[in-house]
């Protein structure tokens, strides 16, 4: 693979071990000799249709994303950070984390969980080690593969990059089918992975790519659900428009602290105006047509929300409520 070679696989295996012994990494170049999968597999894999690098226009603002050139380096000014982040340091990582848990069975109903991280994050340090997202996917019991793209590297920036472009999210998923099949160990299964429904889980600043993925990503026919973990800070119109148009085939669940309460209220008002009903309680199941909001304890810490929210390991709790895809 282009950047997910054997050394990268070993490194990911060590990182996964640190999450609590969830997985023992197998040689990703070997075949998946049986289903369900005997051991978990994972890799950091370079994608052509990655969010970054991005040299296009910022939607709604209609200005170039790259707005600074200095000594041959290209940079983007982050309004939130109040500084320039350089492309070669912050906006050039094409990798995505691919993780296939022990027991995954491609011959049974399955999903792809796409995780969009927040600000100041890296895949290894935050998604794997701190937030333990692979561990939570495994713990959920869902027959699912985890796919997590790197956005801005360790930066105060929620930019979506190429995912702002209509149709690119669908192309990313199409490319992911082959990448996942390779990590899984059987490239002949690429067509099967290409048909799997998708559950997007977005945390914090991941709201922006989530909004554009469902709004203009071109993959609405594959999106089974959207989970927003303290992750509504703008783009409420895109979220509302998507679920209103797809409420017969998809679910929406938003859990939030005081930090995102006002924006969730805006989203609920937009849904009311569109005649889309919603609940303000924790859902017992996340089935097509479910639209649920849950205000958590206002004393919860936003930075810990992926691991400690209304329950510990809320990603695992949420995915366990998706019926029909048990591992």
pLDDT grade, residue 12 (50/70/90)?
A: low
Q: Would you say residue 91 has pLDDT above 60?
A: yes
pLDDT grade, residue 40 (50/70/90)?
A: very high
Q: Would you say residue 31 has pLDDT above 70?
A: no
Q: Would you say residue 11 has pLDDT above 70?
A: no
Q: Would you say residue 24 has pLDDT above 60?
A: no
pLDDT grade, residue 142 (50/70/90)?
A: very high
259-265 contacts at long range (C-beta below 8 A, 24 or more positions apart): 259/230, 259/302, 260/230, 260/231, 260/232, 260/233, 261/295, 263/232, 263/233, 263/234, 263/236, 264/232, 264/293, 264/295
pLDDT at residue 34, rounded to an integer: 52
Q: Considering the chain, what percentage of its residues have pLDDT values greater than 90?
A: 87
Arithmetic mean of pLDDT, 174-178: 98
Condensed to tens digits (0 to 9), the pLDDT of residues 187-217 reads: 999 999 999 999 999 999 999 999 999 999 9
Between 216 and 7, where is the model more confident? 216
pLDDT grade, residue 316 (50/70/90)?
A: very high
Show the domains of the chain with their CATH numbers. 6-52+93-319 (3.40.50.1820), 53-92 (no CATH)
Q: Would you say residue 16 has pLDDT above 70?
A: no
Whole-model pTM: value is: 0.90
Mean pLDDT score across all residues of the chain: 91
Spatial neighbors of 81 by CB under 8 A, at least 6 apart, are 155, 156, 157
């Amino acid at each position: 693979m282009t950047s997910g070679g054997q050394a990268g696989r070993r490194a990911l295996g060590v990182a996964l071990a640190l999450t609590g012994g969830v997985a023992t990494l197998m040689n990703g170049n070997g075949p998946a000799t049986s289903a369900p999968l005997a051991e978990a597999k994972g890799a950091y894999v370079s994608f052509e249709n990655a969010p970054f690098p991005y040299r296009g226009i910022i939607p709604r603002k209609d200005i170039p994303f790259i707005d600074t050139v200095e000594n041959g380096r290209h940079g983007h000014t982050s309004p939130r950070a109040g500084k320039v982040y350089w492309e070669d340091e912050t906006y050039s990582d094409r990798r995505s984390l691919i993780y296939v848990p022990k027991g995954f069975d491609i011959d049974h109903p399955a999903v792809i969980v796409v995780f969009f991280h927040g600000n100041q994050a890296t895949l290894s340090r935050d998604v794997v080690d701190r937030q333990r997202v692979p561990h939570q996917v495994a713990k959920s019991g869902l027959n699912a593969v985890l796919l997590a793209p790197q956005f801005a590297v360790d930066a105060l920036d929620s930019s979506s990059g190429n995912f702002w472009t209509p149709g690119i999210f669908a192309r990313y998923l199409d490319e992911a089918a082959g990448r996942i099949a390779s990590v899984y160990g059987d490239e002949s299964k690429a067509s099967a992975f290409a048909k799997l429904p998708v559950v997007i889980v977005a945390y914090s600043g991941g709201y922006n790519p989530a909004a554009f993925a469902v709004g203009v990503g071109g993959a609405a026919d594959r999106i089974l659900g959207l989970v927003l973990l303290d992750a509504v800070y703008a783009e409420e119109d895109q979220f509302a428009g998507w679920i209103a148009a797809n409420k017969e085939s998809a679910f929406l669940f938003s859990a939030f602290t005081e930090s995102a309460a006002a924006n969730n209220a805006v989203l609920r008002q937009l849904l009311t105006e569109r005649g889309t009903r919603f609940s303000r309680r924790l859902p017992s199941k996340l089935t097509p047509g479910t639209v649920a909001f849950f205000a958590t304890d206002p004393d919860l810490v936003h930075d810990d929300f992926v691991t400690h929210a209304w329950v510990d390991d809320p990603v695992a709790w949420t995915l366990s409520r998706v019926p029909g895809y048990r591992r």
